[in-house]
């Protein structure tokens, strides 16, 4: 009895925060839960497989095995024009693509969140200045400019690619966080904290930020999917990762040769389908999270 | 109304100015210069130097920028180094191809999206609705280049229903009906791919608009007058929900431009996106800068167009 009372009191004193509500809702959506578990297991399996795999062995050129068909000579998914095992390349490529997308999401996320909260909390000149900058970035033909920048950088590698894409990807998060922080900053608890003399930093990152957690998890999931798309797209066009570092995009890039596209489907199709599965899975989870975070669409 | 439009147009000027400065400085940083491509064992190095001086290669960047921007404002973007013709002529030629492709795609987008959105909203929560939602989710999530490649592989190479590249078959007399049909035939597969990718937002918007309309008073009035539900849908609700869809035209244009780089490269379609990729490869920076400026301008124009249509259709929304 006492135990129950205690629990009731505890429940009343701390209502479930944003992220708990989202998770509770999310658990009710069977298909979303299924795709979440599926996509997480897939990503973990790919990362572990890439660790075990002998990269040098996979990327060794064996001209005799040129365009080996799938299933022949122990090549599960065949070989490319240089006789490299496609299955191994697929795993390494997927690992690279996923890690790059995660890095971009994390860096752009942190930058966007920090900037957005500062803009929304302080308002005034800082807010105006950065809103102008964001508006400018939003109207840029981003893809073209990334391509131009990529060709300029002299020493070009994975880290440079991550940074270049990040420069053009923080605006969405910043804008979203800013608008939420703006309305959150007018709430009573913020005024109360101010009167008690809490520092601005604490109010922003310990007071306001946790209340934005539910929309942030949605935003970051969807931008993760978007970043997989951007990296693979750039690599596909030949402006992403260098060919020596396989990514899902560079594997699909082989399809730009009409002969490979029409006859050697095993070189490009598995990577395309893997991109497709990743995009569908991550986006589905993101949309389900969005439904869960939106009070109007709750399942109950 | 006109005042706000004018203000928006005027606001585009500083934006375009910053973009032009930005892209000009970027283009100048590109490794090599257009003349490195001309060097052969027989070229005299002093001849290359002469060309460089003639093109203003050693002037300070702001002088070069001034020359470039004043010429650009008069429609002269210089000479393409790879194609040896004026950039404006080249882009005009390629732009026309992209224009026809975009036009056909935009028509297809609306042809696909409007019936699907209407049906989904009308038979809400039915199996049909769920399939349409699934379709719009997939078309939202799938990357442009993956869908294009799969379509090109299936319909172009395997089933051979469509040509796999180019704009028209060789050997056809320009101006004849067969020639124009052949052109449309070449446009069809890329346009369908484009259209499938572009339908998501319109379907979702139309669906929720129709679901909202169902409970409106005017629907009840129409029903109580004895108009059959079928007619209420096709006349009353349809007309009311259709207008806001017009505002998506601007976004559709912007979306088409973004996809042009992928679709045109994959389908071997000689439009502006394809031109951009090949110009970057060959460091043809007068073409690159012109294309980025043009795409930046069209993107701005697209969002302006959407805002204007939106404020005409729905006077409650005022642009500022």
Ranges of each domain in chain A: 20-297
Q: Tell me which architecture the domain covering A20-297 has in CATH.
A: Orthogonal Bundle (1.10)
Give mean pLDDT, residues A215-241. Answer: 89
- CB atoms near residue A265 (< 10 Å): 17
For residue B318, being part of any structural domain is answered with no
Which residues contact residue B262 at a Cβ distance below 8 angstroms, ignoring those fewer than 6 apart? A233, A236, A237, B144, B145, B148, B273
Each residue of B128-156: b (16+ CB within 10 Å) or e? ebeebeebbbbbbbbbbbbbbbbbbbebb
Asked if A31 has any chain B CB less than 8 Å from its own CB, the reply is no
Q: How far is Cα B242 from Cα B231, in angstroms, rounded to an integer? A: 15
Per-residue confidence (pLDDT) for residue A27, from 0 to 100: 79
pLDDT at A5 over 60: no
Per-residue confidence (pLDDT) for residue A300, from 0 to 100: 46
For residue B217, being part of any structural domain is answered with yes
- pLDDT band of B222, cuts 50, 70, 90: confident
pLDDT at A83 over 70: no
H or E segment to which residue A191 belongs? helix A188-195
Asked if A134 has any chain B CB less than 8 Å from its own CB, the reply is no
pLDDT at A110 over 90: yes
Chain A residue whose CA is closest to B165: A258
Rounded to a whole number of angstroms, the distance from the CA of A225 to the nearest CA of chain B is 8
For residue B210, being part of any structural domain is answered with yes
Report how far apart, in Å, the C-alpha atoms of B14 and of each of B58, B102, B208 are: 28, 28, 37
pLDDT at A1 over 60: no
Higher pLDDT, A103 or B234: A103
pLDDT at B137 over 80: yes
Secondary structure tally for chain B: helices H, strands E = 14, 0
Each residue of B248-260: b (16+ CB within 10 Å) or e? bbbbbbbbbbbbb
Per-residue confidence (pLDDT) for residue A65, from 0 to 100: 66
Q: How far is Cα A35 from Cα A61, in angstroms, rounded to an integer? A: 37
Per-residue confidence (pLDDT) for residue A254, from 0 to 100: 84
The parent domain of residue B229 ranges over 89-313
Check if the beta carbon of residue A241 is closer than 8 Å to that of residue A250: yes
Displacement of CA B108 from its chain's centroid (Å): 14
Residues B94-123 pLDDT 10s: 888 888 888 889 889 989 998 898 888 888
Which residues contact residue A55 at a Cβ distance below 8 angstroms, ignoring those fewer than 6 apart? A88, A92
- pLDDT band of B38, cuts 50, 70, 90: low
Of A195-204, A285-294, B71-80, B262-271, give the lowest mean pLDDT range.
B71-80
Q: How far is Cα A203 from Cα A189, in angstroms, rounded to an integer? A: 9
Q: How far is Cα B202 from Cα B114, in angstroms, rounded to an integer? A: 7
Higher pLDDT, A215 or A61: A215
For residue B20, being part of any structural domain is answered with no
pLDDT at A13 over 70: no
Those of residues 126-185 in B touching chain A at CB distance below 8 A are 137-138, 140-146, 149-150, 152-153, 157-158, 164-165
For residue B251, being part of any structural domain is answered with yes
For residue B78, being part of any structural domain is answered with no
Number of domains in chain B: 1
Displacement of CA B156 from its chain's centroid (Å): 23
- pLDDT band of A228, cuts 50, 70, 90: very high
Give mean pLDDT, residues A181-201. Answer: 86
Burial class (CB in 10 A: 0-12, 13-18, 19+), A140: buried
Q: What percent of chain B has pLDDT over 90?
A: 2
Per-residue confidence (pLDDT) for residue A256, from 0 to 100: 82
Per-residue confidence (pLDDT) for residue B70, from 0 to 100: 80
pLDDT at A261 over 50: yes
For residue B44, being part of any structural domain is answered with no
Q: How far is Cα B39 from Cα B62, in angstroms, rounded to an integer? A: 28
User: Which of the given ranges, A114-128, B58-72, B74-88, B253-267, has the highest pLDDT on average?
Assistant: A114-128
Residues B140-187 pLDDT 10s: 889 988 998 888 888 888 777 887 777 777 666 777 777 778 878 888
Nearest CA to B87 among B295, B282, B275, B280?
B275
Those of residues 27-66 in B touching chain A at CB distance below 8 A are 27, 29-31
Chain A residue whose CA is closest to B280: A148
The mean of the pLDDT values for chain A is 82
- pLDDT band of A101, cuts 50, 70, 90: very high
Per-residue confidence (pLDDT) for residue A223, from 0 to 100: 92
- What tokens were used for A52? 């075990």
- pLDDT band of A157, cuts 50, 70, 90: confident
CATH code, B216: 1.10.3720.10
Per-residue confidence (pLDDT) for residue A135, from 0 to 100: 83
**Which of A39, A139, A150 should we substitute to test contact with B (largest number of B Cβ atoms within 10 Å)?**
A139
Q: What percent of chain A has pLDDT over 90?
A: 20
Q: What percent of chain A has pLDDT over 70?
A: 86
């Amino acid at each position: 009895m006492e135990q129950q009372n205690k629990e009731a009191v505890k429940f009343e004193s701390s209502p479930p925060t944003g992220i708990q509500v989202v998770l509770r809702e999310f658990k009710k959506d069977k298909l979303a839960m299924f795709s979440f578990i599926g996509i997480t297991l897939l990503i973990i399996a790919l990362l572990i497989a890439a660790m075990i795999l002998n990269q040098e062995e996979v990327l060794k050129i064996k001209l005799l095995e040129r365009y080996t068909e799938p299933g022949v000579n122990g090549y599960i998914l065949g070989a490319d024009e240089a006789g490299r095992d496609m299955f191994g390349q697929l795993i390494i490529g997927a690992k690279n693509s996923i890690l790059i997308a995660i890095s971009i999401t994390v860096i752009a996320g942190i930058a966007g969140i920090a900037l957005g909260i500062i803009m929304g909390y302080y308002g005034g000149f800082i807010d105006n200045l950065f809103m102008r900058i964001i508006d400018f970035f939003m109207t840029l033909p981003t893809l073209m400019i990334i391509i131009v920048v990529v060709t300029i950088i002299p020493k070009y590698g994975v880290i440079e690619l991550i940074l270049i894409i990040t420069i053009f990807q923080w605006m969405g998060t910043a804008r979203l966080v800013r608008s939420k922080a703006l309305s959150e900053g007018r709430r009573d608890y913020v005024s109360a904290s101010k009167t008690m003399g809490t520092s601005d930093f604490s109010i922003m990152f310990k007071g306001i930020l946790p209340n934005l957690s539910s929309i942030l998890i949605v935003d970051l999931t969807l931008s993760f999917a978007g970043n997989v798309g951007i990296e693979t797209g750039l690599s596909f066009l030949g402006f992403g990762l260098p060919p020596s570092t396989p990514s899902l995009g560079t594997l699909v890039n082989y399809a730009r040769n009409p002969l490979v596209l029409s006859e050697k489907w095993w070189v490009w199709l598995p990577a395309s389908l893997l991109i497709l599965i990743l995009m569908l899975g991550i986006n589905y989870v993101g949309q389900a999270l969005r439904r869960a975070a939106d009070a109007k669409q709750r399942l109950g | 109304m006109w005042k706000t439009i004018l203000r928006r147009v005027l606001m585009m000027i500083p934006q375009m100015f910053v973009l032009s400065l930005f892209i000009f400085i970027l283009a100048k940083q590109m490794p090599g210069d257009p003349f490195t491509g001309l060097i052969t064992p027989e070229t005299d190095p002093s001849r290359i130097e002469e060309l460089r001086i003639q093109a203003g290669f050693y002037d300070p960047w702001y002088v070069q920028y001034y020359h470039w921007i004043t010429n650009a404002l008069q429609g002269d973007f210089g000479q393409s180094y790879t194609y040896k013709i004026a950039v404006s002529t080249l882009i005009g030629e390629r732009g026309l191809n992209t224009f026809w492709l975009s036009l056909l795609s935009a028509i297809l987008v609306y042809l696909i999206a409007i019936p699907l959105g209407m049906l989904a909203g009308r038979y809400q929560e039915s199996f049909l609705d769920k399939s349409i939602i699934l379709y719009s989710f997939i078309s939202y999530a799938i990357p442009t280049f993956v869908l294009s490649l799969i379509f090109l592989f299936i319909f172009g190479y395997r089933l051979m229903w469509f040509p796999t590249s180019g704009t028209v078959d060789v050997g056809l007399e320009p101006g004849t009906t067969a020639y124009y049909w052949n052109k449309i035939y070449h446009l069809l597969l890329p346009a369908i791919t484009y259209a499938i990718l572009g339908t998501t937002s319109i379907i979702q918007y139309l669906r929720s608009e129709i679901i909202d309309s169902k409970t409106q008073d005017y629907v009840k009035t129409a029903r109580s007058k004895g108009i059959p539900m079928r007619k209420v849908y096709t006349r009353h609700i349809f007309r009311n929900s259709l207008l806001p869809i017009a505002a998506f035209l601007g976004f559709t244009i912007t979306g088409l431009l973004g996809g042009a780089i992928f679709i045109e490269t994959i389908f071997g379609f000689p439009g502006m996106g394809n031109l951009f990729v090949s110009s970057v490869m060959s460091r043809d920076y007068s073409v690159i800068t012109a294309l980025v400026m043009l795409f930046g301008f069209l993107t701005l124009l697209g969002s302006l167009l959407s805002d204007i249509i939106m404020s005409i259709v729905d006077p409650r929304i005022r642009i500022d």
